[in-house]
Amino acid sequence: MALDTANTFPADRELVLERILEASAENLYKCWTTPELMEQWFCPKPWTVSNVRTDVRTGGNTYLEMNGPNGEVMPQPGVYLEVVPNQKIVFTDAFTQTWQPSAKPFMVAIITFEELGDGKTRYRAVARHWSAEDKAAHEQMGFHEGWGIVAGQLEALAKTL
């Protein structure tokens, strides 16, 4: 049974980025689910991504490290809550690996790909937070700018596949 990720959610806990990307849903999904490809687009430069491990299935684990230009390393463990190939990926940091709770859950991400034809896809990235404070912190960290830059990097890579 699929999770209900389309229901209404309090606006004070949700951030949304939506773009029409010039790439197929299949290629965008491939970029989201292939470790070697994720390393090429997942963080706004000059940050990089390394040590990507994915088990892309509902209940599967995901892990990567975001690396900053000053030596920062930010581990990003999580679990996939729902995976529909070429359509939807839902994951959370509420678990560090399958059903092991994290110390401080921050968000659930809902990524959708809606094929529009002519090589275009409606790309929607939603970050749902446990609290309004977490949402505000994510917004202040640069959600819109950062996730916007990353969407552009994703599109550029997906167009080459």
- Give the pLDDT confidence score for residue 1 in this predicted structure: 46
For the domain made up of 25-158, give the CATH fold.
Alpha-D-Glucose-1,6-Bisphosphate; Chain A, domain 4 (3.30.530)
Residue 131 has pLDDT above 50, yes or no: yes
- The identity of residue 42, as a single letter, is F
DSSP string, 63-125: EEEEE-TTS-EEEEEEEEEEEETTTEEEEESSEEETTEE-SS--EEEEEEEEEEETTEEEEEE
pLDDT tens track for 72-130? 999 999 999 999 999 999 999 999 988 899 999 999 999 999 999 999 999 999 999 99
Q: Could you give the C-alpha distances from 132 to 13, 18, 21, 135, 139, in angstroms and in order?
A: 5, 21, 29, 5, 10
pLDDT tens track for 41-70? 999 999 999 999 999 999 999 999 999 999
**Which tokens belong to 60?**
């599967």
